[in-house]
Amino acid sequence: MKRLLSFLLIVLVACNSVHHPAYKNASLSVDARVEDLLKRMTLEEKVAQLQSFICKDSTAWDSQGNFTGGKDSSVIYHGAGIVYAIGKPVNPREAVRRMNAIQKYLIEKSRLGIPSFSFAEALHGYMAPGATSFPQAIALGSTWDTALVEQVFTAAALEARSRGVTQVLSPVLDLAREPRWGRTEECYSEDPYLVSRIGMAAVFGLQGREKILDNKHVIVTLKHFAGHGQPEGGRNIAPVNYSEREFRSNHLYPFEMVVKKANAQSIMASYNEWDGVPNHVNHKLLTDILRDEWGFKGYVMSDGGGMDVVFNDHHAADSYSDAGRLSIIAGLDYDLGGSGCFTKLVEQVKSGKVPQAALDRAVRNVLRVKFTAGLFEHPYVNADTMEMVTNCSSHKSLALKAAQEAMILLKNEKNTLPFDTLKIKNLAVIGPDAADIHLGGYTNPPMKGVSVLEGIRNFAGKRMNVLYAEGCKLTLNKECNWLVNENPIMADQATDDKLITEAVNVARRSDAVVLVIGENELICREAWSDEHRGDRDNLDLAGHQEQLAKAILATGKPVVVLLINGRPITVNYLAQAAPAIVECWYLGQETGHAVADVLFGRVSPSGKLTVTIPRSVGQLPCYYDHKPSRFRNYVLADSSPLWPFGFGLSYTTFKYGNLQLQPSEIPANGKAEVSVDVTNTGKYKADEIVQLYIHDVVSLPTRPVKELKDFARISLNPGETKTVKFTITSDKLEAFGMDMKREVQPGDFEIMAGGNSADLLTKVLKVK
């Protein structure tokens, strides 16, 4: 009887293991679940988890809308990293139903029941029809408001997850150090410290702050790893030629901080090469640094077609499959899409060309993230929840607040702004960017939101008459969809001359002018082919916009210039001649409402530049944290930037004083407290962004003339003074030494505080 009972117990345990395997037990650790699942997988099932499955078969859906697999049932039986169902465009509710149907099929019909990822973009909000479009990344960076950024991406995560999305390909942590590059708008700043802090806020918003995600958050993908933001000549995917010390100190720093401090679960390799090795096949970058040094436990994915680029453009592999082999051995785990560089992995593992250990590592990393995302516990979503949260009133209010905080007042002669509504009966709104909404790249077409013209008209109501003239064409292609594979077509002189004449007549009939100029999504964008260019060889206003500006300013009317753009523009003439200039970037769906609030004084502008604005491309690179030896001035030119990093005016004025440093001498591992008094000396309640910089006075290796190390956004009433405090710690003083290890060198450090990188109070800290 005992033997019979023992046998039955063994059978029971075996049956239970088959029907209720350990990997489906949520009470176990993620690593335990991963190992249990991995040991059950065939070679084909492992490779399937590293690729996307694209269903093009219209018969894969039955009359009730259930996913059946269709002609590809035998393939999808092995599972998939993600399933794309190609078909006619569907409304959001239908998209949710389809996503649930795919997950149900994978869970119930594939052998192991592994659910699928669902990817989406979320550069400045979840990119999908009807979702909330927040200000573009460069505008979000200009808020210097980490709490706000976390709220923005919490909203984006909720909208994405409610539609079944479990991973977003955001945020971008590249440094905006090459403004000719068309993807500058996707970056937060030129400064590594600021990018790291804004980036952490974005990750906390998207993923949450818990180790295991709930059903309101999504896995992030940090991109593009690394150095993508400063390509040679400003040309997309071109090499980055920087020493390891420069690369680690600047381009790798934001990724390192977000990996270590914000638990980022995924990272995307960049198209470019560093030190002659394409990043998709760079073992030093993807394994030695990312995993072995930083302890990254998530998975590395290719960029779209990124492994193809290794073969086609870098000429570093002899075939697509060879590019796949080199990539997985280097440390890349997942093929986002392209020409199928991982399709030969089964054969490559069997033949020994790809080690089994490399394949298992990649599968472990992908599965670990699927468990971390809560996919096994929360595979389905509710369409009612999706409709309730998508672009809801609280998200619209958040988009408006972000747009208000992002606007940067660059110039305001004779208090041109804010406008006095009692003195304006006729207001002219002129310019090619005035009547259309411009949201920037990674926006779901067609773009929807409130344009500058609409927002001003809504505000004006019956208070004033709003006149409009286009002024000139920016591009003749009116479809400013960043996805369109066509290059901008510019207007001829005769066409624009007529429009400029009409605009001048409108301006003369007005009491003041709002001139809305800059760029659009065809001029500044990701350049992925010769039919889809986005990088420029100069930063001047495109087309005949400067001619328009000169004609409008010649009328003598008070003119406020609004710049709508994705990269810094060299507006030398406007910097001298225009009474007021506001840098808006792309402000999101609430553009017009935010612009009206700032122009008419409901809100005082508080944004600050996160990039340096140069006078010409001849100054590039032009970032503020340059080395001491870059001090020579150009002949026949002003070598200073148009506006420095951290700059931004307000409708009020601020006075900095009483900079204190306690103690003034510390050991290398010590701390010092910095305090500075900030007083609102004007008439408006307003926010100010207080910035802290350091400078290692004597250093080898050499260090920049100043480095941002902290910041704080404060709000002050007229006449109010606040004391802002910062803490200097060793991590804010350290740098890579001669042995490429971080250290704090003894000596003097200048500790500087102020409202921008050029106007600073200074104290000296001695480090023993």
CA distances from 88 to 58, 85, 162 (A): 10, 10, 21
DSSP characters over 93-123:
HHHHHHHHHHHHHHHHHSSS-PPPB-EE--B
CATH class of the domain at 117-265+384-391: alpha beta
Find the catalytic residue in 303, 333, 496, 696: 303
- pLDDT > 70 in the chain, percent: 97
Four-point Cα dihedral 462, 464, 466, 467, nearest 10: 130
Instruction: Read off the amino acid at residue 304.
Output: G
| Tens digits of residue pLDDT in 162-179 | 999 999 999 999 999 999
687 a catalytic residue? no
pLDDT exceeds 70 at position 24: yes
Closest CA to 342 of 287, 301, 390, 387: 301
For 38-57, the pLDDT digits (tens) are 999 999 999 999 999 888 88
Q: How far apart are CA 92 and CA 301, in angstroms?
A: 27
Please say whether the beta carbons of 28 and 22 come within 8 A: yes
Is the pLDDT confidence value at 13 over 80?
A: no
Coil vs helix vs strand at 674: strand
| Mean pLDDT, rounded, of the chain | 95
Q: What is the rounded distance in angstroms from the CA atom of residue 576 to the CA atom of residue 591?
A: 26
Bridge partners, residue 269, by sequence: 225
Helix (H) or strand (E) holding 274: strand 273-274
Q: Left (φ > 0), alpha (ψ -120 to 50) or beta: where does 285 sit?
A: alpha
* Spatial CA neighbour of 156 closest among 168, 174, 141: 168
CA–CA separation, 635 and 357 (whole Å): 59
Percent of the chain predicted with pLDDT > 90: 90
- Tell me: pLDDT of 12 over 70: no
Q: Where are the domains of the chain?
A: 1-36, 117-265+384-391, 274-372, 407-619, 654-767
pLDDT digits (tens, 9 = 90+) for 479-514: 678 888 999 999 999 999 999 999 999 999 999 999
654-767 topology per CATH: Immunoglobulin-like (2.60.40)
Average pLDDT over residues 65-93: 84
DSSP strand pairing (426-430 vs 512-518): parallel
- Residue 473 pLDDT more than 70? yes
pLDDT grade for 89, boundaries at 50, 70 and 90: low
What span, in angstroms and rounded, lies between the C-alpha atoms of 110 and 178? 47
- pLDDT, tens digit, for every residue of 312-363? 999 999 999 999 999 999 999 999 988 999 999 999 999 999 999 999 999 9
Q: Place 90 in a pLDDT band, splitting at 50, 70 and 90.
A: confident
The answer to whether 264 and 297 have CB atoms below 8 angstroms apart is no
Q: How far is CA 660 from CA 512, 747, 764, in A?
A: 45, 19, 10
Closest Cα to residue 569, out of 605, 596, 545?
545
pLDDT class of 65 with cuts at 50, 70, 90: confident
Q: Helix-strand-coil percent breakdown of the chain, rounded to 5? A: 35, 20, 45
Contacts of 282 (CB under 8 A, 6+ apart): 269, 273, 274, 330
| pLDDT of 628 above 90 | yes
Structure tokens at 87: 């078909």
pLDDT band for position 3 (cuts 50, 70, 90): low
Contact of 62 with 92, CB cutoff 8 Å: no
Rounded-to-10 torsion of CA 93, 99, 103, 108: 60
Alpha helices in 313-355, H assignment, sequence order? 320-330, 345-351
- Rounded distance between C-alpha atoms, residue 731 and residue 369, angstroms: 30
The DSSP element (H or E) to which 398 belongs, if any, is: helix 393-406
Residue 70: per-residue pLDDT: 87
Is the pLDDT reported for residue 7 higher than 60? no
407-619 topology per CATH: Rossmann fold (3.40.50)
Domains 117-265+384-391 and 407-619 share a fold: no
Query: If you average pLDDT over residues 258-267, what whole number do you get?
Result: 97
